[in-house]
């Protein structure tokens, strides 16, 4: 049963189902906030699992059907779909989540139906340039457009807030703000970075390569600090626990020789961004964190979600081709080797690749600082999305 109000051209709906905990909701939440902040669009975000959403938005109440946060209306998307729906200018079906049938039927009856967009997953593969923006005519005569985020000028672009890099620079130049951030996380002992120490954030899937690297860092002559949000990554670091410790505790630090593991709480996206800015190297997974690691302007490893028949390796290779296009050959080769061996779970090969990677770290760091401008191709995803709607 659908009830509707008068058509509103300043209102967009985004529908999202939560898959793999934080990936899909992380992207749609960032998009919703940017559309609201940068374009003054009223956004309603429909989400099927509020418990996972709460991990990156702690102020969210998973027991409420309707609530408002940071200018966004958040609706608990339940089945069957019996809800008041105010048709707006745009209806976004994020990552083929399949809109409610009742809503699709109701859209068909409207004199001015909202533009229906299927927002797909980010990929660097070249085929999306030929598919981005194409329309599909459904059996009932309705039209749906396919919007593909990507790294080329022909694609749908990448999510990046207009003031992000300005905010990043200000924060990195503010020692007090960084101290406050560390204190808020519960690590008052880490008020200053150690000289010659390496700071690495770890937000990956479990990996034998991570276990092998952690043993290598333990034996290193210089300190390595791992900042690990509580979650799957810790499964690969269990060996650091003492015999009388059952599990990792949020807010605690653990040490094995020159390896220090600091367990962080899951936090907001804004605080996670600061973690990536603060660290020297970032190990990330999924789509949202993968992109934010690039905006952090630091060398990183992308632990891509495994797919059947190694389809994820093709996606990784496509991105590495883009990323390494202007890198010196030896530096590019060392970074590619590290990413591949990490994703393939190779233990000794990952350690060998890490040694080579560190030797080229300065070159990779310099490249990382320049990369965001190249990747954005002068226009971010939200801007391209708004312009696309205007032309539709």
Which residues are the active-site residues? 24, 287
End-to-end, the C-alpha distance of the chain in Å comes to: 28
CA angle 86, 133, 85 (to 5 degrees): 10
Phi, psi of 341 (to 5 degrees): -65, -35
Neighbours of 135 (CB within 10 A): 10
Judge contact between 74 and 43, C-beta under 8 A: no
Q: For the range 168-173, what are the long-range contacts, defined as Cβ-Cβ under 8 Å and sequence gap of 24 or more?
A: 168/273, 168/277, 168/295, 168/296, 168/297, 171/274, 171/277, 172/277
Cis, peptide link before residue 80, omega less than 30° from 0: yes
User: Measuring CA to CA, how many Å separate 373 from each of 99, 133, 244, 308, 342?
Assistant: 35, 23, 49, 33, 27
CA distances from 58 to 55, 62, 127, 271 (A): 6, 10, 38, 12
Q: What is the DSSP annotation of 269-319?
A: HHHHHHHHHHSSEEEEETTHHHHHHHHTTS-EEEEPPP-GGGHHHHHHHHH
- Residue 380 CA to residue 194 CA, distance in Å, equals 36
> Phi/psi of residue 27, each to 5°?
-70, -50
Strand partners, 253: 262
Q: What angle do CA 17, 125, 321 make, to 5 degrees?
A: 125
Beta bridge pairs of residue 260: 225, 255
Q: What are phi and psi of 225, to 5 degrees?
A: -110, 120
Q: Please enumerate in sequence order all residues whose Cβ is within 8 A of that of 103, keeping only pairs 6 or more positions apart, or say none.
A: 2, 81, 85, 91
């Amino acid at each position: 049963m659908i009830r509707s109000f008068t058509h509103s051209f300043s209102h967009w709906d985004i529908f999202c189902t939560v898959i793999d905990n934080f990936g899909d909701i992380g992207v749609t939440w960032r998009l919703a906030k940017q559309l609201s902040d940068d374009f003054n669009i009223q956004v309603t975000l429909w989400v099927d699992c509020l418990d996972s959403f709460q991990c990156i938005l702690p102020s969210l109440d998973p027991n409420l059907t309707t609530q408002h946060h940071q200018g966004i209306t958040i609706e608990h998307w339940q089945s069957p779909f019996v809800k008041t729906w105010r048709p707006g200018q745009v209806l976004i079906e994020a990552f083929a989540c399949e809109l409610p049938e009742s809503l699709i039927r109701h859209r068909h009856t409207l004199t001015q139906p909202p533009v229906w967009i299927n927002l797909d997953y980010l990929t660097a593969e070249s085929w999306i340039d030929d598919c981005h923006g194409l329309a599909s005519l459904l059996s009932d005569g309705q039209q749906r457009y396919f919007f593909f985020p990507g790294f080329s000028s022909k694609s749908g672009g990448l999510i990046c807030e207009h003031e992000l890099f300005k905010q990043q620079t200000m924060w990195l130049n503010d020692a007090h703000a960084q101290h406050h951030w560390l204190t808020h996380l519960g690590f008052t002992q880490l008020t200053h970075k150690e000289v010659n120490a390496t700071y690495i954030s770890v937000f990956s899937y479990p990996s034998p390569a991570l276990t092998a690297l952690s043993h290598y860092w333990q034996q290193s002559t210089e300190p390595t600090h791992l900042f690990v949000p509580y979650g799957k990554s810790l499964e690969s670091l269990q060996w650091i626990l003492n015999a009388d410790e059952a599990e990792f505790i949020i807010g605690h630090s653990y040490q094995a020789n020159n390896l220090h593991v600091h367990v962080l709480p899951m936090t907001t996206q804004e605080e996670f961004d600061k973690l990536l800015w603060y660290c020297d190297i970032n190990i990330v997974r999924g789509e949202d964190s993968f992109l934010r690691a690039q905006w952090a302007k630091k060398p990183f490893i992308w632990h891509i979600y495994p797919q059947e028949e190694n389809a994820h390796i093709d996606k990784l290779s496509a991105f590495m081709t883009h990323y390494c296009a202007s890198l010196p050959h030896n530096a590019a080769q060392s970074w590619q080797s590290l990413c591949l061996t990490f994703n393939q779970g190779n233990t000794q090969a990952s350690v060998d690749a890490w040694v080579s990677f560190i030797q080229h770290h300065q070159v990779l760091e310099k490249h990382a600082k320049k990369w965001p401008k190249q990747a954005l191709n002068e226009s971010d995803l939200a801007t391209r999305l708004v312009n696309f709607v205007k032309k539709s």
